[in-house]
Structure 1
C-alpha cells in the first residue's frame, strides 16, 4: 500500500477544519436571492458571488456551483470537491472576522472551466476569500 504523502498546506494553529452541513447554502430560494442582489469577485479558475445583509444571527452560508458548461457530471463533481476542500482548509480567512457578528453572509464559489487542479483552485479560493474579507472590512466597519 502506498504511504500517505505529507500535505503542502500550511495550517494555522488553533483552527478546526470542519465544514458542517449547517453552513452549506442550499435551497432554490437562497440561490435566487444570492444571484439577484449580489456582488462578484472574479479569479481565473474560481469566482465568488456574495451578498451581505444585516442580521443578528451571525451566520454565514457557502455554496459550490459547477455549471453544465464545465462538462459532464464527473468533471462538475470533481470541481465541486476541489472547491469544498480548498474552502474547508482556508475558511478561517473569512470566519474569524468580528464584523460578522452583525451580518449575514451568503456566498458561492463558481468553477469557471473544467481543467482544474487542486493547486489552482486553492490559490483562487484563498485570493477570493482575502478579497471578500477586504470588501467586508471596508464597507462594514464601525468606528
Structure 2
C-alpha cells in the first residue's frame, strides 16, 4: 500500500490541509437555521453567511452553495469544488477560533455566479475568512 504524501496533509507549521466530512454543514434544518439567524459578509463573487452560537457543543461547520441561477449543474458543481479547495487550503485562518472563543460557528460560502477561476476565488475566500475572524474576535473581546 502506498504511503500518503505529507505535502497533502500538512504544510508549513502545524496547519492541517484536510477537510473531513464531519466539518461539512449538511441538512435542511441546519441551512434553514443558518439563513434565518445569520449575518452576511459580501464580496465581488462570493458571499459568506455565518451564525455564531453561545453553546460550545455546537460544532464548527462549513457549507458551500451555488444557487441554480448561477448556471448548469456542471458549472455549479465546479464552482462548489473550487470553493471547497480554496477553503481547504486557507481554513487555518478560522478553524481554531471557535475553540478559543468557546462558541459554535456555522457558515456557508455562496457563489454569486458560475465560471469562476480558482485564481479569482482564493483571494476572496481569504478576505472573507479574515473578515469573519475579525468580527468574531471583536464580539468576544472582554468589555
* TM-score tier (shorter): 0.7 to 0.9
Gaps of 5+ in 1: 1-10
> CA–CA distance in 2 between the matches of 1:34 and 1:58?
13
The answer to whether residue 101 in structure 2 is matched with residue 70 in structure 1 is no
> CA–CA distance in 2 between the matches of 1:37 and 1:105?
12
RMSD: 1.5
TM-score, normalization by structure 2: 0.87
> CA–CA distance in 2 between the matches of 1:121 and 1:96?
23
Moved more, 92-101 or 19-28: 92-101
TM-score, normalization by structure 1: 0.87
After superposition, residues 1-143 of structure 1 pair within 5 angstroms as: 12-57=12-57, 59-97=59-97, 100-142=100-142
Alpha-carbon shift at residue 45 of structure 1 (Å): 1.3
Alpha-carbon shift at residue 13 of structure 1 (Å): 1.9
How many pairs are equivalent? Answer: 133
Alpha-carbon shift at residue 59 of structure 1 (Å): 2.2
> SS at the partner of 2:106?
strand
Runs of 4+ in 1 over 4 A off after TM superposition: 98-101
> SS at the partner of 1:131?
helix
Gaps of 5+ in 2: 1-10
8 Å contact 1:66–1:111 — kept in the other structure?
yes
> CA–CA distance in 1 between the matches of 2:142 and 2:43?
29
> SS at the partner of 1:50?
strand
